Amino acid sequence: MWLGPATKRPFNPNRFHFNFRWFWDYAGGLMTDWGVHLIDYALLGMDAAFPKSAVALGGKYAYPDGAHETPDTLATVYEFDGYNMIWEQAQSISNGNYGKDHGISYIGNNGTLVLWRGGWEVIPDEKRMEAIPVHQTKARD
C-alpha cells in the first residue's frame, strides 16, 4: 500500500515514513515538501500568479554518497513581472540566510522583511534610511 504507483521493492526503512521525501518514487525533496508552503507566503505577499520563467540548479553536494535521490542543495530563480523570487536550500545546514534555518525574505528599497513559521523580523537598510529625509514639524508656540 505504501508504494502506490512506484515499483514494488522490498521494505526499506530509508524509504518509509519521514524519509520518503528524499526519493523520486514518492516525492520531490525539500522543495516539494516545505517549498510549497513557504513559497505560498511569497506568492500571497506579492499577489502573484504564474512566473514568466524559472531556472533551477542543484544536486547532491552535502551528502553525495547518501541513500537519498533528491537534491540536498538547490537554487531556483522564478521571474515575475517587476521582480524575481529565489528559492535556496542547503539541507542539513541549520544556519541559513538571516540566521534562520528556513523562511522567506522580501528585499525592498528600504529594508528586508524576513518571514518564517515562528515569526517575522524587519531589517532596515541603514544606509538607505540615512539618505531619506526625516519629516519634521515645528512645535506651535
CB 114 within 8 A of CB 100: yes
Per the listing, cell 529594508 goes with 111
pLDDT in tens, the chain (141 residues): 777 888 988 888 888 888 899 999 999 998 888 888 888 888 988 999 899 999 999 999 888 898 899 998 888 999 999 999 888 888 766 677 888 877 888 888 889 998 888 889 999 987 655 555 544 444 444
Integer Cα distance of 26 and 98 in angstroms = 32
Q: What is the structure's pLDDT at 139?
A: 47
Q: What is the structure's pLDDT at 24?
A: 93
CA-wise closest residue to 71 among 59, 88, 62, 89: 59
Integer Cα distance of 73 and 59 in angstroms = 6
CATH 3.30.360.10 given to domain 29-131: yes
Q: What is the structure's pLDDT at 137?
A: 45
CB 8 within 8 A of CB 20: no
Q: What is the structure's pLDDT at 132?
A: 52
Look up residue 63 and give its amino acid: Y
Q: What is the structure's pLDDT at 58?
A: 92
Q: What is the structure's pLDDT at 69?
A: 93
In DSSP notation, the chain reads: -TTTTSPP----GGGSGGGGGGSTTT---HIIIIIHHHHHHHHHHTT----SEEEEEEES-SSTTSS--S-SEEEEEEEETTEEEEEEEETT-S--GGG-SS-EEEE-SSEEEEEETTEEEEEE-HHHHHHSPPP--PPP-
Residue spans per domain, the chain:
29-131
